[in-house]
Amino acid sequence: MRILIIEDERKLADYVHKGLTENNYVADVARDGINGLHMAREGNYDVVLLDVMLPGIDGYTILTELRKNKSTHVIMLTARDKVEDRVRGLEGGADDYLVKPFAFSELLARIQAVLRRGLTRESSILQLGDLEMDLIRRKVSRAGDRIDLTAKEFTLLALLLRRQGQVLSRTVLAEKVWEMNFDGDTNAIEVAVRRLRAKLDDRFNVKLLHTVRGMGYVLELRSL
């Protein structure tokens, strides 16, 4: 899951970014409205945390622009606590509205709540054999044992699980997980896959993550 923080208050933005990263989310920060709108439009984000008072373009305008062609979840973050301000944000298409100052635990719970609503057509649990991934609680386990993943590893595994049995090329992984064009000279993808495989498979006889020479990688159960 990828989250965009559009917040010009540096201390708060850094605090939220740190908390999200520690909870295995991939988070980016935009510190003004113009850059924030551009990133929200062009990026593939699951949730946008949107401040109202921003330099360049205010949060309400960003929300209006996003709702023209994007269904990304938006949680408004603002010091404005008047009823009319909350109503304006919610009527403009925001999924939730959180008044500053707030506890990070509450923000995390609200993020999980909007993501849960967005997963009504897709189970929040992804499984393959004894491997289980909880997309909401950000937990992965195999045979009941918890597996700790970095944010990138979590995103990579979610993609592989959603497309289990399908060979994914390095180009696809680069675009979907790293949002970059694949450079044949970099070994970042191979390193990430190797680390993920070690966590998923090293302790188990049945291997799940396989390399298909010359094509890419596939997550699937194979007969011994």
CA dihedral of 128, 136, 33, 89, whole degrees rounded to 10: 130
Across the chain, mean pLDDT equals 88
Model pLDDT for residues 162-175, shown as the tens digit of each residue: 899 999 998 888 88
3-state DSSP of 68-113: HHCCCEEEEEECCCCHHHHHHHHHCCCCEEEECCCCHHHHHHHHHH
Using pLDDT thresholds of 50, 70 and 90, give the confidence band for residue 121: very low
Topology of domain 125-219 in CATH is Arc Repressor Mutant, subunit A (1.10.10)
Instruction: For residue 8, give the DSSP letter.
Output: S
In the prediction, which pLDDT does 69 show?
76
Domain boundaries defined on the chain: 2-118, 125-219
pTM over 0.75: no
CATH class for the region spanning 2-118? alpha beta
In the prediction, which pLDDT does 157 show?
94
